[in-house]
A and B are shown apart, each in its own frame.
Chain A
Amino acid sequence: MAVEEVRIKNKMKRQQVIADIKDQKNKERHKMRKQREKHERENPELKEQRLEQNVPNTIENTRVYDETINQPIEADEDELARFFNTSNEPPKILLTTNVNAKKKAYEFANILIEVLPNVTFVKRKFGFKLKEIVEFCNNRNYTDLVIINEDKKVVTGLTFIHLPEGPTFYFKISSFVEVQKIVGHGRPTSHIPELILNNFHTRLGQTVGRLFQSIFPKNPDFEGRQVITLHNQRDYIFFRRHRYIFRNEKRVGLQELGPQFTMKLQRLQRGVKEETEWEHTPEMDKEKKKFHL
C-alpha cells in the first residue's frame, strides 16, 4: 500500500502506519543496493553500464546552447601577443585600492601581494584620475593595474586593467576565507605557481581565461609544487591555492594554502573603461540554465 492510499481518519494511527510503510521501503531499498553492490563487485562491467545509462540531469549538462563554445579564437598571433606580454617579459602588476580605503582593503591587498607575481602596492591618494594613474603605469612599463574595491569595510570587487590598451574586467568578490580560517593550511613559498583554468568555454570565458593567463608568468617553478586553480562553475570563478605531493604512483596529497574567494564577472570593457563589451544585468539571472563563461 502506498503512502497516498492510507485513509485512516485517526491522525496518530495514520502517522504510525505511514512511518511503518516508509521504513519498510527504506529497508527494501537498502537491501536492493547491497545486492547490486555485490553483483557489481563480482562483475565490474555492470557498474560501468549502470553509470553510463543513468546520467542525472544537472543544470550544467542541460545548459542553454551557446554557439561560441569550443570554437577557435579568431585572432592571429599578433593580437594574442598584444594581450600577453610582448617580448616574453614577466608581468609587472601595480596593485592599489579605491580612494579612502579602510583596513579590510589593505588586508586584502596584503593577501593579493602574496598571490600575484611581481606586484607593487601603491597607496591610493586623492587627486589622481584613472587616466593619470594609467599614464604613470605606462611610463613605468606596468602590464596590469589591479584595483581593490572596498565598500563599507567589505571588499566587494576587483578591477583588472590590462595596460596599455585594455581591456578592463570588473569582478565581484564574495565568500572570502582568510588563510588562518582554513584547517590544516600550509605556508606558501615564493615560487611561481602553476595555473589551472577550468571550464572557460565560451568566447567571453576564453577572454577571461586569457586575462588570468597573462597575469601569471608562463614558466612556473615546478619544484615549488604550488598550484592556483581558477574553477568556473555557473559563471562563478572559484579561487583556490594548493600544494601537491605525489605520495606514490597513484595517490596525490593536497594541502590548501589559501586564501579562498569567489569572483563573478560583472563587466568587461574595451580600452581603459570605455565601451562595454559585456555587462551582467539582473535579467540574465532569470534564465537559470544560461551561462556566459
Chain B
Amino acid sequence: MRLLVACEDSGSIKEVLCEKGSDTSVQNARQPSFVDQHLSEGFRQRVEIMTLLEGGNRLVAARANGELQLVKISEDENSAILTEKGEQMDIKAKKLNIESSLEGLFNEAKMIDIHKGSKKRSRPYDGFCSVSVAHPLQNVLLCATKSGMVHVIEVKNDKLIKLASHEVKGPLDFAQVYDLGRNSKTLTFAYGGEENLVKICRLISRFSKLETVWEAKNVKNDRLDLKVPIWPTQLRFFETSSENDARKSQEKCDFEFVTLTRYGQFRIYKTLHGRKPLLSKSLVEKVEFTPQMAMCHSAITTAGNIRAKLSQELSFLASDSKKNIYQFDSNARLLGKIGAGDVTGCATFVSVHENKYVLEGGLDRYVRIFDLKTRKCVTKVYIGSKVNSVIMLDDEPIPYPSDGPEYSKKRSVNKLTEEEDKQDDEEMWGRLQDNDKKRNKPRTAST
C-alpha cells in the first residue's frame, strides 16, 4: 500500500509504504518499509485538503495560508528503498513537484465577524473547506473557503487558472459539488455551515453568475418550542428516485441528499417534497460530530456523491470530537464503532477507499487502515504529526526482493501428511469405540 499523508505539525506531505498488517506500536510486528517527507513548508502553510485529479498522477493541495498548489506525482528514479537486510527493493519512491500555485483565495476579515456569532471558542482562521473536481468538467475545480469564498479554478496545461470568484453567506463547513448530472455547462453545488442552512447554487454562463436554486428550511421547534440550532457539516447527493433523467431533474431542481449536522442529526432531503427534511434523526445524544462523513457504497463519484438511490443497504461513517468513529445505516441506526479502544484522539480524517478500506487519521498522530467489512485494524502507522488528510495511491502489496522480513511469516503449524492424518483418524475412532463399549457395559448390567 502506498499512502500520502498531509501532516499538520511540519506542513508536509508524507509518503508511506506499508504492507497489510504493519503496526508501528508493536515492536516485533511488521513495520512500514518506507516513510519520507515531501514539500515541507511549516505549520502555518500546512496542507489541509488533498484532492487527487483524474489519472492519479496529479494532486491539488490546499494549504492553510490560502495557497492552492498543483502537485505532480512522479517516480523518483534516483531513490533506493532498502529492506531491513539492506537489499534494494524494485519499488521506487515518489517525487512530488509543484507545477503551479495560486494564492490569495481567503477573506480573513470576514472571519472576525463570523467568530462573534460562532459557538466555537477559539478564533477560527480562514481555511479551505472543500476542493473538488466538478465532474463531468474534468479540468474544473470548485474550491470553497470557510469565510464563504467560492472559486472556480481551471487546470490547463499544468497551470491553475482562476476563472471566477463568488462570495456566499458564510461560514461554510462544506461545499458539495453535484456530479450526478451530465450537464457540462453549469456547475451545481450545495453549501452550508454554522447558522447557515443548506443552499443549492448554480454557476451559469461560464461560471460568471451565481444563482441560488433552492434553500432549506429549519426543522420544527423542539418540544420546549425552542429553535433547533443549525449547523450542517456534510452533505451527499443521491440519484433521484423520480422518473426524470438526471439532466431534466437538474433543470427542474429535483435533488435528493442527506446531511449530517454537528449535533449529530442525520437528515434526508428531497427538494420536490419540500424545504424541510423528509426525515431527521438524532444519531447519538450529546455528541459533537466533526465535519467528516464517509459513505460506504460501491458506486461513489469523485466528489463523494452516490450514483444510486437512497436505500437500506447504504451505510456511512461519522466521527465525533472525542475519539469515536461510528458506522450508521441509512435509518440512523448504529451498526458499530471503528477502532474503539485503540484510537485515542479525535479522527480529523475519515474516508472509505473503494468500498474496502477505511482510512483514518487524527490528532493522535497515527494513520490507521481498517477493513470496512470486519471493522478490524489492518495497518497502523505512527506519523509523528497530526494528520489532516490521507490518500491511498494503491493497495498493491510491496514486492520484496527475497521472501520479505522474517517476522512477517506466521509460525508454520506442524501439518500432518495424508497418511498420518488417516492413521490419526483411525486411532481416534478406535478410542471412541472403546469408550462406547466401556460406557455401555455397566448400563447393560444394570438393566
Interface presence of A5 (CB below 8 A): no
Set of chain A residues within 8 Å of B121, measured between Cβ atoms: 130-131, 134, 271-274
Q: Judge if A283 is at the interface, Cβ distance under 8 Å.
A: yes
Output the nearest chain A residue to B9 by Cβ-Cβ distance.
A75
Prevailing SS type, chain B contact patch: loop
From known contacts A275-B290, A283-B341, infer whether A74 and B385 are also in contact, taking CB-CB under 8 Å: yes
**Beta-carbon nearest neighbor of B290 in chain A:** A275
Interface residues of A: mostly helix, strand, loop or mixed? loop
Interface centre among A67, A71, A203 (most CB of B within 10 A): A67
When C-beta atoms are compared, the residue in chain B nearest to A75 turns out to be: B9
A63-B365 Cα distance, complex, nearest whole Å: 21
B123 within 8 A of A: yes
- Chain B proximity mask over A47-77: 1 for CB below 8 Å, otherwise 0: 0000000000000000001111001011110
Task: Select B321's contact among A166, A275, A278, A283, beta carbons within 8 Å.
Answer: A275
Contact A203 B322 (CB under 8 A): no
* Contact indicator A78/B385 (Cβ below 8 Å): no
Residue-wise, chain B 23-53 has the 8 Å CB interface mask toward A (1 for contact) of: 0111100000000000010111000000000
Q: Is B391 an interface position by the 8 A CB rule?
A: no
The answer to whether A74 and B382 have CB atoms under 8 Å apart is no
> Quick one: closest B residue to A275, CB to CB?
B346
Does A91 touch B at the CB level, under 8 Å? no
Q: State A155–B384 Cα separation when bound (angstroms).
A: 35
Q: How far is the CA of A82 from the CA of B9 in the complex (A)?
A: 12
Are A78 and B43 touching (Cβ within 8 A)?
yes
Interface 0/1 of B310-323, CB less than 8 Å to A: 00000000000111
> Are A76 and B10 closer than 8 Å at their CB atoms?
yes
Question: Is B181 an interface residue when CB atoms closer than 8 A count as contact?
Answer: no
Central interface residue in B43, B364, B385, by most chain A CB within 10 Å: B43
Q: How many angstroms between the C-alpha atoms of A283 and B342 in the bound complex?
A: 11
The size class of the interface chain B forms with chain A is: 20 to 34
A121-162: contact bitstring with B at CB < 8 Å (1 yes, 0 no)?
Answer: 000000000110010001000000000000000000000000
Kindly count the residue-residue contacts between A and B in the assembled complex, taking CB atoms under 8 Å apart. 82
> Nearest A residue to B125 by beta-carbon distance?
A165
Contacts of A79 in B (CB 8 A): 9, 42-43
A279 within 8 A of partner (CB): yes
For residue B250, CB closer than 8 A to chain A, the reply is no
In the bound complex, CA of A182 to CA of B237 (Å) = 67
A102 and B365 CA atoms in complex are apart in Å by: 40
Nearest CB on A from B118, distance (A): 9
Among A65, A76, A164, the one with the most B-chain Cβ atoms within 10 Å of its Cβ is A76
Residues in A whose Cβ lies below 8 Å from that of B7: 74
Check: B100 CB closer than 8 A to any chain A CB.
no
Q: Which of B24, B120, B123 has the most CB atoms of chain A within a 10 A radius of its CB? A: B123
Check A279–B322 contact: CB distance below 8 A. Answer: yes
| B residues 338-395 touching A (CB-CB < 8 Å) | 341, 344-346, 348, 363-365, 382, 384-385
Q: Is B412 an interface residue (CB 8 A)?
A: no
Closest-by-CB residue of B relative to A74 is B384
- Judge if B417 is at the interface, Cβ distance under 8 Å: no
With CB as the reference atom, state the residue of chain B lying closest to A76.
B42
List A259-293 residues whose CB lies under 8 Å from chain B.
270-279, 283
Check B122 for interface membership: any CB of A closer than 8 A: yes
Are B384 and A165 in contact (CB-based, < 8 A)? no
Given contacts A76-B10, A166-B122, A203-B384, contact A279 B344 (CB under 8 A): yes
Question: CB < 8 Å: which of B344, B345, B346, B384 contacts A71?
Answer: B384
Contact pick for A276, options B120, B363, B384, CB 8 Å? B363
CA gap between A134 and B118 in the complex, in Å: 14
Q: Which residues does chain B contribute within 8 Å of A278, judged by CB atoms? A: 344-345, 363-364
Name the residue on B nearest A203 (C-beta): B365
- Contact B123–A164 (Cβ < 8 Å): yes
**Chain B residue at smallest Cβ distance from A82:** B43
* B122 and A134 form a contact (CB under 8 A): yes
Q: How far is the CB of B370 from chain A (nearest CB, A)?
A: 19
0 or 1 for each of A243-255: is its CB under 8 Å from B? (1 = yes): 0000000000000
* Closest CB pairs A-B (n = 3): A271-B122, A275-B346, A272-B121
Can you list 24 A-B pairs, Cβ within 8 angstroms, ordered by A?
Answer: A65-B25, A67-B382, A68-B384, A74-B9, A74-B385, A76-B42, A78-B42, A78-B43, A79-B9, A134-B121, A134-B122, A166-B122, A203-B365, A270-B346, A271-B122, A274-B122, A275-B363, A276-B321, A276-B323, A276-B363, A277-B346, A277-B364, A278-B364, A279-B322
Beyond the given pairs A73-B9, A78-B42, A275-B290, 15 more chain A to chain B contacts, judged by CB atoms under 8 angstroms and listed by A's residue number, are A74-B7, A75-B10, A76-B10, A76-B42, A82-B43, A134-B121, A164-B122, A166-B122, A270-B363, A271-B121, A274-B321, A275-B363, A277-B345, A278-B344, A278-B364
